[in-house]
């Protein structure tokens, strides 16, 4: 099975994140940038499928040149090769444009299965998988907590608020995963060394036949008009329990009219 | 006034609260028109509630095809409706399905999309809260009409009785939209509690709760306050509580009137999902826990003593 895993580099969600003051885009310069956490689960799932069914695993990333670091990291987990869509004109692309570019790149890769994270931690938009499927005319099985493969038949358990749905489709398909699906492996020393030699193909917009005017800030279908820091919450009253903590808690809730 | 399409979120024959919020919001932008998509017989039981909150029209799209496949058929029906009615805006719930339908709709119409919107003004400027609740963003769609997904609990729904005229949509679903078939829907224990993202009170437990069994304590307090139960990632990863109840960066974003954190340290990724709650209360035995930095009321103490006492006190007052 030929698998492509979508990997996005994002600013670390555990650190302070900012938007740039000049053009309102995500400030990647000041951030510590990491692989979007959910995508690590997609990589792990791809490797397990490869172990069971054979085939090749390719990482696909659209992002600035600095994303190369995350691509190497992804490769050190075990995938065979990577494709990096990198072009200055991409800066500030909206989700719609990103999906156009990734769909064009996928068009060159002939994947049976596209695996990706259910959402990215920076935008939290959760839209890419269906946008890609819509553009590629393939099935999208999204929000998987379990994936089983039987020949060309794919079945997922899709997590919902009430429980889960069992959804099936035939390859080719896009499958997005939650962090409940597996436990990603850590790269081994051998894996890290091997990753240095794995092929990473750079693709420009020209290579993909996408016009610069269709992407980036100029081609964006939505725009941030302004942004500001939300005033941080400040702590209120804090009491130490000396036998009356529960009662005091309820007294507070009562003054706030919750009981 | 132009119509504003509100894609109805419903479950078990009932309208979800986010729908009422969207209808309330839609009234500021134009004439609300509810769009119900589902299997045969879905629209009728929802109609009264939709009218009560100001829907002047209900577009009813009913077919087994809408129910039996993942989102693509719904997006197709909606795209046709947008093309035939040229609405002023399209609002969907910022839920998994709402975002997914919106994603396909955006591609079909080549229309910009804004997700997780908490406010939308009549000039189309949307408000979003991003980066773990730390940043407020004003944004707008620059290509096409305002297509936005609205985060549950963003505003207080207000009734505005109207008489909804029902218009039946012609649902013919192309084979190309029937690629992902839903073969089974399983309900896992949920009970009578309100849904996490819509609840006005959420009581969450963390690693400090210690075990799945001890989560009964969290549930008990939640029930006494009429709230939903949430959990930190440490608690869901440890198997104390099912994953769909996780609050935070990789879980649900909640914005209730009251959030109660029990045995939760308040890591930045947890705060990401609850930071915009109106009132926050915490119980933690570590007085230095970061959750106290945002708690309006904090009790430094052992939750196994504080929570049962609080429960008892609430019962007494009832
Ligand atoms: C990319 C990424 C995404 C993440 N997403 C999420 C997410 O969506 N949601 C989330 O919650 N976390 C998320 N995390 C994890 C997060 O960083 C924390 O590890 C997690 O929130 C900790 O959960 P906790 O507060 O329950 O556990 P801990 O940090 O272990 O805190 C337990 C607390 O309980 C207190 N305690 C213990 N016993 C008692 C007692 N008897 N009485 C009172 N207090 C007691 C302790 O003092 C402590 O403060 C994410 C992490 C990463 C890297
Ligand atoms: N620029 C990108 N390059 C590669 N993959 C991406 C990119 N943006 C999003 N994705 C993938 O799409 C998933 C969902 O992203 P999103 O719709 O942005 O929440 C992510 O988890 C990634 O797997």
pLDDT digits (tens, 9 = 90+) for B301-312: 999 999 999 999
B243 touches chain A (CB under 8 A): yes
Phi–psi pair at B59, nearest 5 degrees: -85, 120
Pocket test for ligand 2, best of A100, A105, A128 (most atoms within 8 A of CB): A128
Is A35 within a domain? yes
Residues of B in Cβ contact (< 8 Å) with A37:
250
> Which residues, listed in sequence order, are joined to residue B35 by a DSSP beta bridge?
B7, B59
Considering only the beta carbons, identify the residue of B102, B249, B299 that sits closest to A241: B299
Please give the average pLDDT of every successive group of 10 residues along chain B, which has 318 residues: 95 94 96 97 97 97 96 98 97 96 98 96 93 89 97 95 95 95 87 90 98 98 97 96 92 95 96 94 98 96 98 95
Cβ contact (<8 Å) for A258 and B307?
no
Is A104 within a domain? yes
Cβ contact (<8 Å) for A96 and B112?
yes
CATH number of the domain where residue A174 is located: 3.40.50.620
Given this model, what pLDDT does residue A21 score?
86
Q: Which residues of chain A have pLDDT under 50?
A: none
* Binding site membership of B244 for ligand 1 (Cβ less than 6 Å): no
Whole-angstrom distance, CA of residue A125 vs CA of residue B103: 9
pLDDT, tens digit, for every residue of B273-309?
999 999 999 999 999 999 999 999 999 999 999 999 9
Is A142 within a domain? yes
Is A224 within a domain? no
Given this model, what pLDDT does residue B190 score?
65
Given this model, what pLDDT does residue B238 score?
96
- Are the beta carbons of B159 and B52 closer than 8 angstroms? yes
Q: What is the dihedral sign for C-alpha B292, B95, A141, B43? A: positive
- Are the beta carbons of B247 and B276 closer than 8 angstroms? no
CA angle A169–A170–A176, rounded 5-degree value: 55
- Are the beta carbons of B246 and B204 closer than 8 angstroms? no
CA distances from residue B26 to B50, B82, B274 in whole angstroms, order as listed: 12, 15, 26
Considering only the beta carbons, identify the residue of B102, B279, B300 that sits closest to A241: B300
b/e sequence A88-116, b meaning 16+ C-beta within 10 Å: ebbebbbbbbbbbbbbbbbeeeebbbbbb
Is A253 within a domain? no
* Count of domains observed in chain A: 1
Is A122 within a domain? yes
Q: Which two tokens stand for residue B144?
A: 């096409």
* Binding site membership of A82 for ligand 2 (Cβ less than 6 Å): no
Query: Where in the sequence is the domain holding A196, given as residue range(s)?
Result: 2-214
Is A18 within a domain? yes
Is A198 within a domain? yes
Q: Which ligand is nearest to the CA of A97?
A: 2
Whole-angstrom distance, CA of residue B116 vs CA of residue B240: 29
Query: Which ranges constitute the DSSP H helices of chain B?
Result: 17-26, 47-52, 64-68, 72-85, 96-109, 215-224, 233-237, 268-271, 303-317
Whole-angstrom distance, CA of residue B195 vs CA of residue A158: 18
pLDDT, tens digit, for every residue of A88-122?
999 999 999 999 999 999 999 999 999 999 999 88
Given this model, what pLDDT does residue B218 score?
98
Note if the bond before B180 is cis, omega within 30 degrees: no
ipTM above 0.90, yes or no: yes
Q: How many CB atoms lie within 10 A of CB B283?
A: 31
């Amino acid at each position: 099975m030929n698998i492509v895993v979508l990997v996005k580099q994002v600013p670390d969600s555990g650190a302070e994140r900012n938007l740039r003051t000049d053009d309102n885009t995500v400030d990647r310069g000041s951030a510590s940038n990491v692989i979007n956490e959910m995508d690590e689960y997609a990589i792990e799932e791809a490797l397990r499928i490869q172990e069971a069914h054979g085939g090749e695993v390719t990482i696909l990333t659209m992002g600035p040149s600095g994303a190369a670091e995350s691509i190497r990291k992804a490769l050190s987990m075990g995938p065979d090769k990577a494709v990096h869509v990198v072009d200055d004109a991409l800066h500030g692309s909206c989700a719609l444009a990103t999906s156009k570019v990734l769909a064009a790149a996928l068009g060159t890769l002939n994947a049976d299965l596209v695996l990706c994270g259910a959402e990215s931690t920076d935008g939290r938009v959760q839209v890419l998988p269906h946008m890609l499927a819509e553009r590629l005319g393939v099935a999208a099985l999204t929000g998987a907590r379990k994936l089983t493969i039987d020949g060309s038949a794919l079945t997922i358990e899709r997590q919902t608020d009430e429980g889960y749905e069992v959804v099936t489709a035939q390859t080719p398909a896009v499958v997005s995963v939650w962090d409940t699906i597996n436990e990603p492996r850590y790269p081994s020393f051998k894996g890290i060394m091997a990753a240095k030699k794995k092929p990473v193909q750079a693709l420009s917009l020209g290579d993909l036949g996408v016009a610069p005017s269709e992407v980036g800030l100029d081609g964006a279908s939505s725009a941030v008009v302004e942004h500001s820091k939300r005033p941080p919450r400040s702590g209120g009253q804090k009491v130490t329990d000396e036998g009356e903590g529960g009662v005091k808690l309820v007294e507070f809730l009562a003054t706030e009219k919750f009981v | 006034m132009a119509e504003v399409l509100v894609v109805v979120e419903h479950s078990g024959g009932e309208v979800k609260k986010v729908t009422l919020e969207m209808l309330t919001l839609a009234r500021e932008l134009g004439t609300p028109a509810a769009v119900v998509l589902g299997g045969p017989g879905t629209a009728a039981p929802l109609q009264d509630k939709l009218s009560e909150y100001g829907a002047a029209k209900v577009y009813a799209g009913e077919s087994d095809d809408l129910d039996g496949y993942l989102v693509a058929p719904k997006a197709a029906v909606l795209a046709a409706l947008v093309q035939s009615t040229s609405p002023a805006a399209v609002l969907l719930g910022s839920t998994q399905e709402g975002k997914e339908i919106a994603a396909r709709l955006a591609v079909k119409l080549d229309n910009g999309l804004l997700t997780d919107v908490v406010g939308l003004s009549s000039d189309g400027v949307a408000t979003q809260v991003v980066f773990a609740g730390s940043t407020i963003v004003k944004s707008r769609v620059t290509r096409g009409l305002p297509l936005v997904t609205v985060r549950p609990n963003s505003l207080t729904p207000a009734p505005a009785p109207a008489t909804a005229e029902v218009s039946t949509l012609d649902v013919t679903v192309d084979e190309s939209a029937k690629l992902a078939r839903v073969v089974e829907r399983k309900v896992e224990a949920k009970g009578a509690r309100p849904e996490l993202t819509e609840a006005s009170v959420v009581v969450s437990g963390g690693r400090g709760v210690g075990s799945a069994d001890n989560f009964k304590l969290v549930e008990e307090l939640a029930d006494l306050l009429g709230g939903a139960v949430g959990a930190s990632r440490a608690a869901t990863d440890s198997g104390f509580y099912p994953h769909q109840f996780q609050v935070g960066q990789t879980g649900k974003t909640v914005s209730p009137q009251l959030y109660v954190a029990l045995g939760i340290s308040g890591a930045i990724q947890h705060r990401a999902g609850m930071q915009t709650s109106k009132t926050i209360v915490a119980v933690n035995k570590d007085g230095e826990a970061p959750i106290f930095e945002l708690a309006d009321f904090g009790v430094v103490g052992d939750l196994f003593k504080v929570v049962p006492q609080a429960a008892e006190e609430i019962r007494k007052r009832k």
